[in-house]
Structure 1
Amino acid sequence: MKYLKLVRFQNLAMLALMQILFRYTFMKSATYTELTPTYNFLALSHAQFFLLVLATVCIAAAGYVINDIMDQETDEIAKKRVVGKTISEKAAYNLYVILNVTGVGIGFYLSNAIDKPSFASLFIFTAALLYFYATTLKQIAVLGNIVVAAILSFSILILGLFDLVPSTHEGNAFWQGNKAQMRQVFGILTDYAIFAFIINFLRELVKDVEDTDADYAAGIPTLPVLIGKNRTMKIVFGLSFIPVLLFIYYVNANLAQYSYVLFYALLFIIAPLLIFTIKSWSAKSNKEFKNLSFLLKAVLFFGILSIAVITYATTHHA
């Protein structure tokens, strides 16, 4: 259990679920036709796809491990220390190396399997960026939050890079006849990546507010340490209107004809976001900040599930 806590098992499970849902609901449906009822447009086999998920999870887990190794002082103050307490620093470093080697190694294999060897650099870059975040970027207010949010977004885009891009060539007959459709698929992946970025960026800011006292004691200049908790939460309040307005516009422009998609969006995404916006204005205590962070995590989870709801609506709509 201590190792599962170290690698944030729940977050990794949600990451894997997100990728699996996208592939086996939306991407599967988007590349299916009666004439070609197979995954002939998706570049990865089932086994290769699950290796992609494993590689992503391993590198993300390694990021959590190195972050905890570097945050021992802060975590001790916040009373949530794992490395150096229940797990030795040496064991944590060994796990970090094993996870990164596994993730990058799988990345090399998959990149060569789809004849895109240069794509292996994406895994190396992500692993290096997570290390750089834990050791340096975390010390730079806001930039560190942007990096973490961007990495989550990239875990959506990587599906398109490995499963769609390799098939977009002149020799693929399906690609030739469905270029517009496939560009739309990548466009929708990008839309979800943007949504994930915004929600996770807000959550990172709220988590910084929650950890303000520990970060201040450890000398980490996060935004709330520099300008205060109250001002940071006012910024969060203002920024929270962006996903609300964008999501309302997106649903109205693209999905207004599907009644249960509207119901799902209102109940599980827009309503929680509005509750978050309202409560973020007056939040003062760490309990309130923790609840706000959990609310955004729930929005992210239901946002991920929405791809299955939307896929079902669009494929079964008469």
Structure 2
Amino acid sequence: MKLITAFLRLVRLTNLVMIAVTQVLFYFTIVEPFYSNNHDAYIPFSIKHFLLLILSSILIAAAGNIINDYFDRNIDEINKPEKKIIDKLIKRRWAIIMHIVFSFVAILIGFYIDSQTPVFWLGISNTVCVMLLFGYSISLKKKLLVGNILISMLTAWVILVCFVCYYRSFSCSYCDAATWQGQLNRFIRISFLYAGFAFVISLIREVVKDMEDMEGDKRYGCKTIPISWGIPASKVFVAVWLVVLIGMISIVQIYVLQLGWYWSAVFAVLLIIAPLLWILRKLYQAQVPKDYHRLSTVIKLVMLAGLVSMIFFKIYS
């Protein structure tokens, strides 16, 4: 039982669940209403393929978490010794084996989906994601902003990979061309709206985590924003992106209210905008790693709330 718990901590079970929830929500709240409103639409990307897509996303993330912890052993000994798993509970050899197996299966799933659907690039995409996460773990995370942006892009890709798979699969020979194009444009806007949200809030969280882990990162040669620019400048960087995010979400609510989606607006104000304002206020009061850890946790909850807001597209569709 102790080994199972250690494994689930190693692969970051909570993060994997969030990936699955995000993609399931995207399907049932964005994709499914789209083709329900277009009865003549043909979508060869089936539920089976979608479930395999989720599995491959989870396996890539799990493999990335394992290899990241593998190369972070010394840093974790300083930043969070009580949470260290590799060497203490799981041997290095088994960590590498799990990383290879998960990565290989994820890539294999991608090429299988390519062979069964109009999607032709998922195998290559999964391969690139595995390579990027490996590169991140070895060196990219130590470079100024590079690691932060990479992880934020991969977070956004969790949504965009679903979008591209279905966008490539949609076809409708008997639909009105203007109506069909209007529906497609709406699908594109919604997909990129949530991908943009995921990118920005992930970037914010990555920098806050860097502030939390500054001591160990500095000792092992990392050039993160807090180390390179200092904590005050890092707080300004995070604050600017928080203001941008709050502004983006507030503008979206203006359109939401015009559509009469009042409960959606209430949800956004109470569970997304208000917590972001709280984070902005607490950011300048944060002094020690514990403070930044608390902020990181709240940011993760806001990210979850933002993704859950997809349900309103189902409710009001």
TM-score per shorter chain, which class? over 0.9
Check conservation: 2:256, 2:264, Cα contact below 8 A. Answer: no
Aligned pair in 2 of structure 1 residues 222, 35: CA closer, same or farther (>3 Å)?
closer
Q: Which residue of 2 aligns with 1:268?
A: 271
Check conservation: 2:110, 2:126, Cα contact below 8 A. Answer: yes
Check conservation: 2:119, 2:168, Cα contact below 8 A. Answer: no
Q: Which residue of 1 aligns with 2:59?
A: 58
Q: Which residue of 2 aligns with 1:126?
A: 129
Computed over aligned residues only, the root mean square deviation of the Cα atoms, in angstroms, reads 1.6
Deviation, structure 1 residue 243: 0.3
Give the distance between the partners of 1:42 and 1:269, measured in 2 at CA: 34
Q: Which residue of 2 aligns with 1:48?
A: 49
Give the distance between the partners of 1:109 and 1:35, measured in 2 at CA: 28
Q: Which residue of 2 aligns with 1:69?
A: 70
Q: How does 1:140-219 map to 2 (within 5 A)?
A: 140-168=143-171, 172-174=173-175, 176=177, 178-219=180-221
Structure 1 alignment gaps of length 5 or more: none
Asked if 1:20 corresponds to 2:24, the answer is yes
Structure 2 alignment gaps of length 5 or more: none
Check conservation: 1:175, 1:182, Cα contact below 8 A. Answer: no
Give the distance between the partners of 1:92 and 1:34, measured in 2 at CA: 47
Give the distance between the partners of 1:65 and 1:146, measured in 2 at CA: 20
What's the TM-score, normalizing by structure 1?
0.93
Give the distance between the partners of 2:185 and 2:117, measured in 1 at CA: 19
Check conservation: 2:256, 2:262, Cα contact below 8 A. Answer: no
Check conservation: 2:226, 2:234, Cα contact below 8 A. Answer: yes
Percent identity for Structure 1 against Structure 2: 28
Q: How does 1:79-118 map to 2 (within 5 A)?
A: 79=81, 80-118=83-121
Give the distance between the partners of 1:76 and 1:174, measured in 2 at CA: 60
Check conservation: 1:41, 1:175, Cα contact below 8 A. Answer: no
Q: Which residue of 1 aligns with 2:298?
A: 295
Deviation, structure 1 residue 35: 4.5
Asked if 1:286 corresponds to 2:289, the answer is yes
Give the distance between the partners of 2:251 and 2:257, measured in 1 at CA: 10
What's the TM-score, normalizing by structure 2?
0.93
Which of the numbers 223, 234, 237 marks the counterpart of 1:235? 237
Deviation, structure 1 residue 33: 2.9
Q: Which residue of 2 aligns with 1:225?
A: 227
1:235-274 alpha-carbon deviations (Å, 9 max, x no partner): 2122210100010011212444211111111111111111
Aligned pair in 2 of structure 1 residues 84, 175: CA closer, same or farther (>3 Å)?
farther
Deviation, structure 1 residue 34: 7.5
